[in-house]
């Protein structure tokens, strides 16, 4: 009886670990270092392109974020961003968004444009 219990326990452990094993990547050749929308960018929003008018609470797409140049908040008289956030300029808007996910916290229209 004791041998049968140990065997059942060993079998359940082996079956559980085999079920959780997953192949590396997502099957489309996207791994670390790839610039596509792989696992590193899964929390980012959809890419809209340069003509989009952003709203607070939206998530910028990774390509939108990387194409929007960083803004020196001191030179443009903007408030200092909290840790983990950065000011970017996109289509005449100053956008304060999270660096890790692109979540927009604040938007100011660029009147000097």
* Residue 71: predicted pLDDT: 93
Q: Which of 70, 110, 113 is nearest to 88 (CA)?
A: 70
pTM value > 0.85: no
Classify 43-113 by CATH class: alpha beta
- In the chain, CATH 3.10.450.160 sits at 43-113
Q: How many alpha carbons fall within 13 Å on the CB side of residue 13?
A: 6
Mean pLDDT score of the chain: 75
Cα 35 from Cα 17, distance rounded (Å): 31
* Residue 51: predicted pLDDT: 72
Classify residue 91 as exposed, middle or buried by CB count within 10 Å of its CB (0-12, 13-18, 19+).
middle
* Residue 36: predicted pLDDT: 47
Reported as a single tens digit per residue, the pLDDT across 64-105 is 888 889 999 999 999 999 999 999 998 889 999 999 989 999
* Residue 34: predicted pLDDT: 40
């Amino acid at each position: 009886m004791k041998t049968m219990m140990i065997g059942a326990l060993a079998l359940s452990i082996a079956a559980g670990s085999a079920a959780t094993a997953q192949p590396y990547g997502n099957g489309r050749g996207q791994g670390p270092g790839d610039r596509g929308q792989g696992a590193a960018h899964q929390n980012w929003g959809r890419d809209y392109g340069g003509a989009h008018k952003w709203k607070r609470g939206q998530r910028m797409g990774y390509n939108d974020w990387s194409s929007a140049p960083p803004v020196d908040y001191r030179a443009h008289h903007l408030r200092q961003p909290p840790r983990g956030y950065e000011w970017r300029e996109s289509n005449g808007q100053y956008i304060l968004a999270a660096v890790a996910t692109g979540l927009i916290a604040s938007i100011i229209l660029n009147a000097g444009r």
